[in-house]
Amino acid sequence: MDNSCNFLIAKFGREEHLKQLQNGEIYFNAVQAYRDDGTVYRGDPMEGKIPIDPAKIKLYDQAGRDIFETIPRPNTIVESLVGDENLMMFCASAITTEIMDYVANDIWKFKEEFKSEMQKFGDHVLLIWSLELLEHIAKATDITGQKIGFIDRRILYRDLKDFDNTHEYRITGSPLDVYFVKGLLYKNQNEWRVIIDGEREELKINCDRGFLLQTSPFQYSQIMKTTDFLNGEIKIQMDNNKIDL
């Protein structure tokens, strides 16, 4: 692997599901599944949506009058892409210094905010390298034999009530930029995300509410109990692509 853009990622969940992922079965959830999820830590009704200031919206009737002069304005207005419900994404936590406190001698420990947030996701965690995951996706095909296109990025977190500074939603000019922005409520998750689609045609749901991509087992990976991982002091080294915890 080229380690220049490589970092450790942590996928929290049930042990049996993580073993499937470790064996190369990569599950991508549809964006609508996150919008519909009622949990406050995983679910997010604002996934892929840009909040619009209701005070700046004007709608005119045939006579040229602003209809909001006679009826109440809506409390919430959003901009979103039509037909994006089945956009497929893989989400995990990036293990970076933003979520850690330095102890001594290259030893770090996780911040309490990160520990409190991530223990909600499951009793086990799978540690893998981001670049190896991307390499698996790049080599894979769907059932029709078409290659998989993907884009990956760390999530940007912002105040969703700040309607003036919205450059994060258009940071590269891609219509997918909006899917890499979330509210401050989720900041402690330190998320890294991969969005995929078919190179020729849109990927179809093939497993529950998402897409299961069959690849090969991960060469560099480790499953641990969530409590052991979050509560212990940690030293992460990249020595011949080995995870040393």
The domain spans of the chain are 3-50+84-243
3-class secondary-structure state, position 207: strand
The DSSP code sequence of 72-133 is PPPS-EEE--TT-TT-EEEEEEE--GGGEEEEETTEEEE-HHHHHHHTTS-SEEEEEEHHHH
Lowest mean pLDDT among 70-74, 106-110, 217-221, 231-235: 231-235
Confidence class of residue 243 from pLDDT cuts 50, 70 and 90?
Answer: very low
Task: Say which range, 79-88, 180-189, 226-235, has the weakest mean pLDDT.
Answer: 226-235
Give the confidence band of 239 by pLDDT, cuts at 50, 70, 90.
low
Q: Answer yes or no: are the C-beta atoms of 30 and 217 closer than 8 Å.
A: no
Predicted pLDDT at 44: 97
What SS3 state is found at 234?
Answer: strand
Residue 6: count other Cβ atoms within 10 Å of its Cβ: 16
The mean per-residue pLDDT over the stretch 169-198 comes to: 97
Burial letters for 114-125: b for 16+ Cβ neighbours within 10 Å, e otherwise? bbebbbebbebb
The mean predicted confidence, pLDDT, of the chain is 92
pTM, two decimal places? 0.90
- Condensed to tens digits (0 to 9), the pLDDT of residues 138-150 reads 999 988 899 999 9
Band of residue 34 on the pLDDT scale cut at 50, 70, 90? very high
Looking at per-residue pLDDT, the higher value among 221 and 245 belongs to: 221
